[in-house]
Amino acid sequence: MFELRFDERKCVACRTGNCLAKCQYMDIDRDTAKAEMVKIFNGEDSFVLHDCVTCYACEEYCEMGNHPFYLIVERQEEMDIPPLPRPLIKRGVQIGIPFRGEPEIKEVKEPVLSMGVFSELANLVQGRLFEGISFISTDPRKMFHFFCQLMYLHYARTSVIKERLPKTIETIAKHNVKEVIFLHDECYGTFASYAPAVGIEVPFKPIHLFEYLYNRLKELKDEIKPLNLKVAYQRPCSSRLSPDKLHFVEDIFNLIGADSVKREYTGENALCCAGTIIGQRRKGSRQRAADVQRRNIEDMINAGAQVCVFNCPACWDTLASLVSEKGIKPLFMSDLCRLAIGEKPEGWG
Amino acid sequence: MTLADYPYKDIIHRCFRCGYCKFPTNWTDVNNCPAYARFRMESYSCGGRLWLIRAWLNNEIEWTDHLAEIVYSCVACKNCAEKCPLRFSDDIVDMIVAARGEMIESGSVPSAVKEFLENIQQQGNPYGNARTKRGEWAEGTGIKPYDGQEFLYYVGCVGSYDTRAKETSKALGEVLLKAGVSFGVLGNEENCDGNEVSKLGERGLFQLLAEENIQQFKDLGVKRIVTLSPHSYNAIKNDYPMFGGGFEVYHYTQLLRDLIKGGSLDVSRGLNARVTYHDPCFLGRWNGEYDVPREVLTAIPGIELVEMERNREGALCCGGGGGNFYTDFLGGSENSPARIRIREAYDTGASIVAVACPNCMTMLEDAVKAEDFEGRLEIRDISEIVGEACMVRGTE
Amino acid sequence: MESIYKSLVEIVGEEHVSTRPEELYVYSYDLGTTEPQRPDYAVAPKTTGEVQQIVKLANREKIPVVPLGGGLSLAGLAVPLRGGIALDLKRMDRIIEVNERARYVVVECGVSQGQLVSYLERHHPNLYHSEPGAPPQATIAGNIAIHGQGDLAQVYGFNSDMVNGLEVVLPTGEVCKIGSCSISPHWFTLHPLPDLGLFLGWSGTTGIITRLSLRLYPSKKIRDVEQFAVEDEELVPEVVHRITHTEMAEDIVAFSQAIPPFANELHTINIFMTADSEKELEFKKGLIWDDTLGDYIEKGDGGFVNLSPEMKFELARRPQISKTSDWKKGGGFEYVGAIMPVETYPECYRRGVEISTRHDIPYTVLGRIIGRSHAMMFSWTYAFNRADPESIRHARKALHESDDLALELGGTIWKPGVYGQKIVMEKIDPNTLQLMKKVKQLLDPNGIMNPGNWEVS
């Protein structure tokens, strides 16, 4: 009942085919890119549907705002070309089923922040940066009621997203809020990008965590002591859904005196954490993921990074211990900001 | 009283008796529950106790002296709550306390417990000593009565009356004086904080004590309190707020750490010794404070701090909680937890066991004597160690 | 009764004997669904000598003796079915010797799993034992006495296969040594002396194990785990067969359960690997993941779950923490463990789901591979609410049906309770049964050892 708003004419009119031409995981030239996109939107088989690693980047590369990635995963589902083995898809779909009763809808006063399915990461929202905020989805036993569902893009299960997302929106809306800050970048992407793309109404305004942090830091400007740390940013896949908010990363770094190292794999060229690539069906996926991670981390080392700044807990789970082994300290963005105002986040120092 | 009236009736049956409650964090020994360590019968383990409480409330067994003794043999060290893997683990000690409450209401408690409570009711201390002697420990120290100073130095019953513990109270007072801290004591006007009363299940008496103390503190304009004992710290910080008491409460080690780091206390004289620190339950497991006392000790030059095998949240309780420093249900055997603990301390090669609690002090000192370690192992309060390192009098 | 009490006091001391209702109550219970039976005495000895004296006394007075370790069999094997002496052996908790070269440890019967794990980690980090995944209070002796299996089962077999020697107190009171320890100071082998394997799997009905020697194995620096998931239960035996062929895995456990939802109607196979270097780990993982299971992945029939470091840590932790008992918010669960051919996994699973559904219990099944797919320990677990007799009744019925099922599918029941023992004895070869009877009568003429168990009519 919710249809992806994909306009074939935009694809035809596009001159660059950048969605696929810029893909970092498939070697595709402009002409091939345009030809394969035609096959895809016509519902024909294409190697792209088999080789896509679901990194989300083409959402950003597309200059026409036409949602090539959302289309790819829809086709994968329709044509039964799952990127992951079927048992993993089943497991993923079942993980999101809340089974510990209904959520408690509390009285909240804005500003409100939703923890999504990261209710256990309360340590990331401590201190003066988050003073005065009301939190929702703080109970790990009920957190799947607040699940944005967008993870299912990696599983080629947009049907599950469309089925469950309205209920999540309803649960959030029951708190009578006009604006909601989202801890997880992917939640933001869901409400700012995906929902509109498929025609799901969102009765509140999503606020990006980094935008919130930046504005809050400006309020506390006098307390900021420049960090003088060399930092590399681990850009999550979901960030591709909100390229208009990417500038806040550098804005924050500049504000707090973090020296953003010159990297090859940055901005548009960022490498995803490869967490979802490891288990994919395509032959050699495990080594492909390891190679992506190796290049990503070597790039950080070569650029002289002391700290790897994370946005996403899934990237963290995949990469934090790997960067740590190489002598780079992993840290979430909110914790980096806390350091800048003289606070000591858990586990630092 | 029946199961239907018991406040934890929906939880008490959920104990599986899996036995995690008997262990420390690192599984080194199955005897980390003080009562189980002492008796080694399943009835004395936490799980056994909970099953017996349920059976009693459910009329499957009758009240006996022995049942009361089992229920009162728990010293509220919280090892069980710390280790239990199930969801209701936070309520474990409260479940035992609630059962004790029922025994008190029906007038069927061990006589030592009755004595303990009556003494507090009448004399404001469990020993039954005269109130007029409570402030004696401070004679000759120059410590002033509380009269609006920055801190109320709250001593507690053990620190006020126990011979050995009084040296600790003095040492701390003198250290605070040396550091220039503005503080005063209540002397004979001080009354029992009620922590043990609460853990023994006498809800009514605890409320009375709390309310009276709160009123007294408020009337005097007290805002910040530093306690000698973690037991007082626990009661005033965590339990008094529900009766209207909102004070800033510190355990003295927290204050000393700040004073040393901030330069107000010069400990450069140091102390050359191998020291092991015994975590008090009411500072450690009950209040999550494991680091600060260690910071104080490592700030003193010459101290080599070594850890016992069971430390921090895995520490073995000295057995002095729940009034047991007086009622002594766990004494009289080489398996008394205090004696086990002293043997463990001895094995570290330390010459000093540092404590931060007057109850631990008395329990462990007795154990040193029982184990015949006199001359080889010394129990010293952190206040005494700091006192020596900053050259105050009265730190023998 | 008075005089027996006095005699017991003389043997172990007053503090370690009780006839008081509180001790008798606690010692009458198993943690599962078995009905409680009250002992007459609860006794906790400290030495083999004390055990010996107690057994002699029991023989004289014709009172039952029920040896108890951690009491975690969950099959009622330490419930005093005919009263008598509940013999709590946990005070005998000394670790006597670790021989690093020959890789064995000698322990008293009360040493707990947790204690041994911790001791080896601290003093002999290159060695470990096969840890059964029960709560840490379970004892080494109790576990081998019931033929337990641990996390080294796939490599080295049953925990009882890892025994190098025993010291036992016979029901008639003699202390006997079994294995090389009977002839040498070294407890390093059972074979080739004449087989005296009369004490394992007998539920304590032939004597009391007071000391034992257990093989230890090389412990490596890195312990990793991967989870391979399939949807079709028919694939499990073949997947397992292939993994065991590589000889690269340590513990292999396949499980499926209704709760939490992510495991429902799926079969997740935990594959543990150990290594001393990243190179070794990558070699093993490559063999298993890419070479052995790669074609399942490409076809989409099976896949490796992406585990976070936290999840891996939880899975690899020894001993395991189990929350199963609280699933019905009721403090109870019990399971039928059966030793089954691995090829029966699909049917065991399907029938397990059917039994659980009928009894309104969320299904929970698990298969731990023993040897190179020589067998598996398959368990059907039923949670119950201890405060709800209906729930206990359902669990008990489900357990009996599972006992029946194990035999129906050609396996046998591991550590059976009274019901399981009965149906095993009904089915077993009659000559075998008669031999069991002869052994039992020879060793325990007065029938004092844990009576009510393995009683051949």
Can you give the three-state secondary structure of A325-348, one letter per residue? HCCCEEEEHHHHHHHHCCCCCCCC
- How many CB atoms are located within 10 Å of the residue B2 CB? 10
Share of chain C above pLDDT 70, in %: 99
- Residue carrying the six token digits 């009034």: B323
The CATH 3.30.43.10 portion of chain C extends over 2-88
- How many CB atoms are located within 10 Å of the residue C306 CB? 21
On whether both B200 and B183 belong to a single domain, the answer is yes
On whether both B303 and B372 belong to a single domain, the answer is yes
On whether both B296 and B370 belong to a single domain, the answer is yes
The C-alpha atoms of residue C212 and residue B27 are separated, in whole angstroms, by: 21
Residue B267 has pLDDT above 80, yes or no: yes
Q: How far apart are the first and last CA of chain A?
A: 52
The C-alpha atoms of residue A190 and residue A70 are separated, in whole angstroms, by: 12
The C-alpha atoms of residue C263 and residue B265 are separated, in whole angstroms, by: 59
Give the DSSP H/E element, type plus range, for residue C96: strand C95-99
- Residue carrying the six token digits 């299960």: A157
- Residue carrying the six token digits 């029901």: C171
Name the minimum distance, in Å, from the CA of C236 to any CA of chain A: 13
The C-alpha atoms of residue B165 and residue B145 are separated, in whole angstroms, by: 20
**Structure-block tokens of residue B153:** 């130095």
The C-alpha atoms of residue C380 and residue A97 are separated, in whole angstroms, by: 24
Residue C199 has pLDDT above 60, yes or no: yes
Average pLDDT of chain C?
Answer: 95
CATH at residue B137: 3.40.50.1860
Considering CB atoms only, which of C268, C300, C304 is closest to A82?
Answer: C300
DSSP B203-262: HHHHHHHHHHHHHHHHHHT--EEEESSHHHHHIIIIIGGGGT---EEEEHHHHHHHHHHT
Share of chain A above pLDDT 70, in %: 100
The mean per-residue pLDDT over the stretch B184-213 comes to 97
The C-alpha atoms of residue C39 and residue C219 are separated, in whole angstroms, by: 42
Question: Does C95 reach chain B within 8 Å, measured CB to CB?
Answer: no
pLDDT for B396: 46
What residues of chain A lie within 8 A of the CB of C230, using their CB?
87
Give the DSSP H/E element, type plus range, for residue C406: helix C389-408
Give A18-75 pLDDT, tens digit per residue: 999 999 999 999 999 999 999 999 999 999 999 999 999 999 999 999 999 999 999 9
DSSP B87-108: TTGGGHHHHHHHHHHHHHHTT-
The residue among B258, B285, B316 that closes a domain is B258
Q: How many CB pairs under 8 A join B and C?
A: 115
Residue C192: is the preceding peptide bond cis (ω within 30°)? yes
- Distances in Å between the Cα of C305 and the Cα atoms of A277, C35, C226 are 11, 41, 7
The CATH 3.30.465.10 portion of chain C extends over 95-218
Q: Do C263 and A91 touch (CB under 8 A)?
A: yes
What residues of chain A lie within 8 A of the CB of C300, using their CB?
82, 84-86, 281
Q: Residue B209: which domain range?
A: 126-258
Name the minimum distance, in Å, from the CA of A51 to any CA of chain C: 12
On whether both B196 and B289 belong to a single domain, the answer is no
What residues of chain A lie within 8 A of the CB of C306, using their CB?
275-276, 278-279, 318
The residue among B109, B136, B160 that closes a domain is B109
Pairing relationship of beta strands A229-234 and A307-310 according to DSSP bridges: parallel
**Structure-block tokens of residue C424:** 């095993």
pLDDT for C92: 98
- Whether residue B97 is contained in a domain is answered as yes
pLDDT for A268: 95
Residue B386 has pLDDT above 90, yes or no: yes
Tell me the ipTM for this assembly: 0.94
Q: Do C137 and B28 touch (CB under 8 A)?
A: no
The mean per-residue pLDDT over the stretch C316-324 comes to 74
Nearest to C379 by CA among C394, C361, C365: C365
Average pLDDT of chain B?
Answer: 95
pLDDT confidence of A349, banded at 50, 70, 90? low
- Residue carrying the six token digits 């799901």: A200
The mean per-residue pLDDT over the stretch A303-327 comes to 97
Pairing relationship of beta strands C95-99 and C104-108 according to DSSP bridges: antiparallel
Task: Report CA Rg, chain C.
Answer: 22
Give the residue ranges of DSSP H helices in C62-152: 113-123, 140-145
**Structure-block tokens of residue C229:** 């998931």
On whether both B134 and B236 belong to a single domain, the answer is yes
Q: Which residues pair with A112 in a beta bridge?
A: A134
The C-alpha atoms of residue C110 and residue C167 are separated, in whole angstroms, by: 13
**Structure-block tokens of residue A42:** 């016509």
Between residues B28 and A337, which one has the greater pLDDT? A337
DSSP C294-359: HHHHHHTSEEE----HHHHHHHH-SS----GGGTTTSEEEEEEEEEE-GGGHHHHHHHHHHHHHHT
The C-alpha atoms of residue B40 and residue C403 are separated, in whole angstroms, by: 35
Pairing relationship of beta strands B151-154 and B224-227 according to DSSP bridges: parallel
The C-alpha atoms of residue A236 and residue A311 are separated, in whole angstroms, by: 7
3-state secondary structure of B34: helix
The mean per-residue pLDDT over the stretch B290-312 comes to 97
pLDDT for B290: 97
pLDDT for B392: 81
Quote the DSSP letter at residue C431: H
Pairing relationship of beta strands C85-88 and C222-230 according to DSSP bridges: unpaired
Residue B4 has pLDDT above 90, yes or no: no
- Domain A221-340 has what CATH class? alpha beta
* Helical axes C389-408 vs C418-427, angle rounded to 10°: 20
Residue B109 has pLDDT above 90, yes or no: yes
Check: CB of residue B191 under 8 Å from CB of residue B164.
no
Nearest to C284 by CA among C244, C245, C248: C248
The C-alpha atoms of residue A42 and residue A314 are separated, in whole angstroms, by: 34
Name the minimum distance, in Å, from the CA of C114 to any CA of chain B: 5
- The set of residues, in sequence order, having a beta carbon less than 8 Å from that of A220 and lying 6+ positions away, is A128, A129, A341
Q: Do C298 and A278 touch (CB under 8 A)?
A: no
Name the minimum distance, in Å, from the CA of B380 to any CA of chain C: 29
Q: Do A275 and C300 touch (CB under 8 A)?
A: no
Check: CB of residue C69 under 8 Å from CB of residue C110.
yes
Q: Do B29 and C387 touch (CB under 8 A)?
A: no
Q: What are phi and psi of C302, to 5 degrees?
A: -155, 155
Considering CB atoms only, which of A85, A92, A95 is closest to C300?
Answer: A85
Q: Do C306 and A279 touch (CB under 8 A)?
A: yes
Kindly list the domain boundaries of chain A, sorted by start residue.
8-78, 112-211, 221-340
- The set of residues, in sequence order, having a beta carbon less than 8 Å from that of C389 and lying 6+ positions away, is none
Helix, strand and coil content of chain C, in percent to the nearest 5, comes to: 40, 25, 35
| Predicted TM-score of the model (pTM) | 0.92
Give A83-98 pLDDT, tens digit per residue: 999 999 999 999 999 9
Q: Do A91 and C229 touch (CB under 8 A)?
A: yes
Q: Do C266 and A91 touch (CB under 8 A)?
A: yes
| CA A182 to chain CA centroid, nearest Å | 11
- Whether residue B91 is contained in a domain is answered as yes
Nearest to C162 by CA among C176, C173, C151, C177: C151
Pairing relationship of beta strands C252-257 and C267-275 according to DSSP bridges: antiparallel
The C-alpha atoms of residue A267 and residue A247 are separated, in whole angstroms, by: 9
Closest CA in chain C for residue B45: C26
3-state secondary structure of A1: coil
Residue A111: is the preceding peptide bond cis (ω within 30°)? yes
- Domain C222-415 has what CATH class? alpha beta
The C-alpha atoms of residue B383 and residue B387 are separated, in whole angstroms, by: 6
Name the minimum distance, in Å, from the CA of C117 to any CA of chain B: 8
On whether both B276 and B377 belong to a single domain, the answer is yes
Q: Which residues 231-290 of C have a C-beta within 8 angstroms of B?
A: none
- Domain C2-88 has what CATH class? alpha beta
CATH number 3.30.465.10 is the correct assignment for the domain at C95-218: yes
Task: Report CA Rg, chain B.
Answer: 20
The mean per-residue pLDDT over the stretch B215-226 comes to 97
On whether both B134 and B223 belong to a single domain, the answer is yes
Q: How many CB pairs under 8 A join A and C?
A: 77
Task: Report CA Rg, chain A.
Answer: 20
Least confident of B94-103, B270-279, C320-329: C320-329
Nearest to B229 by CA among B287, B149, B146: B287
Considering CB atoms only, which of A84, A97, A321 is closest to C261?
Answer: A97
pLDDT for C1: 67
Q: Which residues pair with C81 in a beta bridge?
A: C83
Domain total of chain B: 3
**Structure-block tokens of residue B73:** 């043999």
- Whether residue B279 is contained in a domain is answered as yes
The mean per-residue pLDDT over the stretch C354-367 comes to 96
Residue B140 has pLDDT above 60, yes or no: yes
The C-alpha atoms of residue C228 and residue C224 are separated, in whole angstroms, by: 13
The residue among B212, B227, B258 that closes a domain is B258
Share of chain B above pLDDT 70, in %: 99
pLDDT confidence of C196, banded at 50, 70, 90? confident
DSSP B291-325: HHHHHHHHTSTTEEEE--SS-GGGPPP-S-TTTHH
- The set of residues, in sequence order, having a beta carbon less than 8 Å from that of B253 and lying 6+ positions away, is B283, B289, B292, B293, B296, B356, B382
**Structure-block tokens of residue B330:** 């766990």
Check: CB of residue A194 under 8 Å from CB of residue A70.
yes
**Structure-block tokens of residue A313:** 């807990």
pLDDT for B395: 46
pLDDT for B393: 58
